């Protein structure tokens, strides 16, 4: 893993999202998910070809967010 100073914004948001899910903070996790989507889609604009792969654990984090939504009745 790279030094934290070298991380991209999306990487930092993903770490915060994982922490919010771990702490079962659904409202915060939802906001962070929207911020992550925005950060990842801003790269090059909506019609640009994404030049980097999404974070490897993004699917797992999304599954955990969906599970938290269900657990909280959402």
DSSP 57: T
Which DSSP helix (H) or strand (E) runs through 4?
Answer: none
Task: Kindly report, residue by residue over 36-50, the tens digit of the pLDDT.
Answer: 988 887 766 556 555
> Quick one: pLDDT band at residue 1, thresholds 50, 70, 90?
very low
| Vertex 41: Cα angle to 36 and 44 (nearest 5) | 140
DSSP 6: G
> Quick one: pLDDT band at residue 23, thresholds 50, 70, 90?
very high
Range of the domain at 12: 4-71
**Residues 28 and 12 sit within 8 Å (Cβ to Cβ):** no
Confidence check: pLDDT of 7 > 80: no
pTM confidence score: 0.77
């Amino acid at each position: 893993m790279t030094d934290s100073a070298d991380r991209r914004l999306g990487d930092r948001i993903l770490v915060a999202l994982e922490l919010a899910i771990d702490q079962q903070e659904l409202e915060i996790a939802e906001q962070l998910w929207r911020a992550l989507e925005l950060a990842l889609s801003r790269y090059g604009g909506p019609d640009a070809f994404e030049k980097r792969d999404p974070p490897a654990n993004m699917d797992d984090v999304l599954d955990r967010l969906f599970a938290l939504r269900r657990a909280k009745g959402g």
